[in-house]
């Protein structure tokens, strides 16, 4: 987005889908209601985070299958499915099934790498093959091939009364073009482009040793690496934004405290992986829009998927989504889809 006169083309939101471990039903229902609200407000897409062995949605594909039956227009995405937990062939079947149910609205976002807390879960996840599992690009390559309809079996034909296909069924022809890769480094951005995928960026990038901890510059490098490999690919940015246009004084105080608690981690890279986090943007939509236009990476995208904070109440999400759709989106030149 080189100048403010160029409108944002697509606007979505991302939720973690928190729930109470002792009573998980209401939390899942709230997530579905938030997606329904997003469609009514005119958002182009709704995305679900993926959390294993936590109190956030652990099976976003299953949840989005339910969402397909409660919405008719809004695109439904995952941001992101960590492939280290998945069998690519089985995941391809699930993704294609949900895409068929949605009428071609699924946007699967994935990432590679070892499962989180690998040493703690390895015996439960891969008790016999932990030492030889490949958590790199090979897993991603298989998923892309299977979703695209390439051969998954050496046999095709009829055996008795059973008819067998040599590709994943059902096959959803347009799904391959709607695969997204969650990338936070130049190498992963380049890889996404080389595979013909789309690029999901978020509020996390991998710091470069010796380089200044400039989040916007580092994220811009990822986008440029992707576009060098795939000039026409789609790029979406996902920062945490909390507009307060219609917030109550109590909500504003809570939001300010939330952002203040998270700000120290933005000063320098965090953890062994050297992850650098973007600052959350809170305040009136006009001020947030000014902050976004000052962000070097945001100026280079035409699509945004703003992340909802993790731990807020349902009424807070209603207020935040409503303000994004009615204040922040229009301040960025976006118009809701009717």
- Could you read off the pLDDT of 186-233 as tens digits, one per residue? 999 999 999 999 999 999 999 999 888 999 999 999 999 999 999 999
Angle at alpha carbon of residue 72, lines to 68 and 76, rounded to 5°: 50
Q: Which residue has the tokens 């305040």?
A: 283
Domains of the chain: 14-80+94-103+173-331 (3.20.20.30)
pLDDT band at 2 (very low <50, low <70, confident <90, very high): very low
Sequence-separated (6 or more) residues with CB below 8 Å from residue 314: 30, 33, 34
Does a cis peptide bond (omega within 30 degrees of 0) precede residue 42?
Answer: no
Angle ∠(212,234,223) on CA atoms, nearest 5:
15
Per-residue pLDDT of 283-298, as tens digits, reads 999 999 999 999 999 9
The pTM of the full predicted model, rounded to 2 decimals, is 0.96
**5-19, 94-108, 240-254 — which is least confidently predicted?**
5-19
- Whether the pLDDT of residue 338 is over 80: the answer is no
Contact predicate 146/216, CB 8 Å: no
In whole angstroms, give the CA distance from residue 215 to residue 238. Answer: 13
The answer to whether 305 and 47 have CB atoms below 8 angstroms apart is: yes
């Amino acid at each position: 987005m080189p100048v403010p006169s160029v409108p944002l083309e697509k606007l979505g939101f991302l939720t973690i889908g928190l729930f109470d471990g002792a009573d998980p039903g209401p939390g899942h229902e709230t997530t579905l209601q938030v997606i329904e609200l997003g469609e009514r407000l005119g958002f182009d897409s709704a995305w679900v985070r993926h959390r294993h062995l936590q109190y956030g949605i652990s099976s976003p594909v299953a949840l989005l299958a339910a969402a397909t039956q409660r919405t008719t227009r809004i695109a439904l995405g995952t941001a992101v499915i960590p492939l280290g937990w998945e069998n690519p062939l089985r995941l391809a079947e699930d993704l294609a099934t949900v895409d068929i149910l949605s009428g071609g609205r699924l946007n699967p976002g994935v990432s590679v790498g070892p499962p989180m807390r690998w040493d703690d879960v390895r015996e439960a996840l891969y008790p016999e093959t932990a030492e030889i599992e490949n958590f790199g690009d090979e897993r991603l390559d298989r998923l892309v091939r299977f979703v695209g309809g390439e051969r998954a079996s050496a046999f095709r034909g009829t055996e008795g009364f059973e008819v067998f296909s040599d590709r994943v069924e059902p096959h959803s022809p347009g799904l391959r073009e709607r695969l997204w890769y969650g990338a936070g480094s130049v190498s992963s951005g380049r890889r996404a482009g080389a595979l013909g995928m789309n690029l999901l960026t978020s509020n996390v990038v991998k710091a470069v040793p010796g380089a200044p901890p400039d989040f916007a510059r580092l994220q811009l490098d990822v986008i440029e690496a992707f576009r060098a490999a795939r000039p026409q690919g789609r790029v979406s940015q996902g920062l945490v934004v909390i507009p307060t246009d219609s917030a109550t004084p109590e909500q504003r105080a809570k939001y300010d405290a939330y952002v203040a608690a998270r700000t120290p981690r933005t000063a320098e890279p965090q953890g062994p992986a050297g992850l650098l986090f973007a600052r959350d943007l809170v305040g009136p939509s006009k001020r947030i829009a000014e902050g976004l236009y000052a962000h070097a990476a945001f100026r280079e995208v035409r699509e945004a998927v703003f992340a909802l904070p993790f731990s807020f109440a349902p009424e807070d999400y209603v207020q935040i989504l409503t303000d994004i759709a009615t204040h922040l989106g229009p301040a960025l030149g976006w118009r809701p889809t009717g």
